[in-house]
Amino acid sequence: MHTRFQTKVSCQLSIVVPMFNEQDVVGVFFDTIIPQLELATDDYEIVCVNDGSIDSTWEKLQAHAKQNPRIKLIDLSRNFGKEIALTAGLDHSAGRATIPIDCDLQDPPELIPQMFEKWQQGYHVVLARRIDRSSDSRSKRWTSGNFYKIMGKFSEIELPQNVGDFRLIDRKALDVLNSYPERSRFMKGLFASLGFREYTLDYTRPERAAGTTKWNYRKLFQLAMEGFISFTSFPLKVWSYIGATIALIAFAFGGWMVFKTMMWGVDVPGYASLMVVTCIMSGLILLSLGVIGEYLARIFTEVKGRPIYIVMEREGFDE
C-alpha cells in the first residue's frame, strides 16, 4: 500500500498535533498532556507539525524537543492549513494507535487514558463526542449543528455529529487513511469513511487554554464547502431535477399560450413578465455553472499531482 511517507511502527501510541502561531500555548500543552500520556503508556511519541508559523512556535517546540526525546517535530515550508498539517503528522506517526489533538486543550487530554484502554479492548477507532459546547459561541454552535444536519441528509457517508478530529485510530485504519491520495482533504469525512469497529466517549468542551483561535467564518465556510463537495455529488445531480421541472413548466406554459392564442387571439406581451423570466433563468444557469465550477476546480487540483505538503525540516525521526 503506497503512502506519502512510510513510517515503521516503533511505539504504542502517537499523538499528532498541528500548530500554527501557538507560541502562547506550547508550554501549557506539554505540561498538561504528558502526565496523561504516562497514565496510558510509557511507550509514546508526540508528533508536532509546525504549519508555517510566523511567531516563535517553532523555536519553543525545538526547546521542548531537546528536553524530551519523545517529542518529534515537522516544520512545513509554509502554511498549508490544518487539514494538510494533520495529514503530514499522520503520515509520520509511528504508533500502533494514533490520536490527533488540538494544542489549545479544548480536546481534553484527560480522555487519552480512556481512549487507549478502549483500543486495548479491541476497538479500532475511539471517537470523542462533544455533548456540551457551551464554550463555543451561539452562532458557531448553530452553524455547526446545521452543517452536520445537511451532511447527514445528503452525504454519501455518515458523519458522526459533534465529533471532531480528536479520536484514536488503530494502525490498521491509519494505514488505509494514509493510502488516500486526494489533495483536497476534509479530514472528518475521511475519518468517517474508514469504518472499522468504533466506540464513542462523551466529553464537555472546555475553554481554550491560551492564545486565540485561528478559525474565522470564512475559513469555516470553506471547510464546510470542502466537506460537502468531497462527500456528495448531490449538488451536481440536483440540476437534472431542476432542469426537468423547469422544462415541464415551460412546455405547459407553451401549450397554454398556443391554446390561448387560438381561442382569444394575441395579447401584447408584457415587458415585466419577460424580464422576470429572463432573470430567473439566467440566475439558475449561473448558479448551476458555479456548482459545476466548484467540482471542476477540485478535479483541476487533483490532476496536477503536486505534493500535498512540503517538509522543510524534521527533528527526532529516524532517517
Q: What is the pLDDT of residues 235-257, one digit of tens each?
A: 666 666 666 676 667 666 666 66
CB distance 141 to 130 below 8 Å: no
Per-residue model confidence (pLDDT) at position 1:
34
Q: What is the pLDDT of residues 216-239, one digit of tens each?
A: 556 556 656 665 566 666 666 666
Q: For residue 38, count CB atoms less than 10 angstroms from its CB and return exposed for 0-12, middle for 13-18, buried for 19 or more.
A: exposed
What percent of the chain is modeled with pLDDT above 90?
8
Q: Among 98-102, 174-178, 230-234, whose mean pLDDT is lowest?
A: 230-234
Q: What angle do CA 205, 208, 209 make, to 5 degrees?
A: 120
Q: For residue 30, count CB atoms less than 10 angstroms from its CB and return exposed for 0-12, middle for 13-18, buried for 19 or more.
A: buried
Per-residue model confidence (pLDDT) at position 140:
60
**Which residues 6+ apart lie within 8 Å of 186 measured at CB?**
83, 223, 226, 227, 230, 231
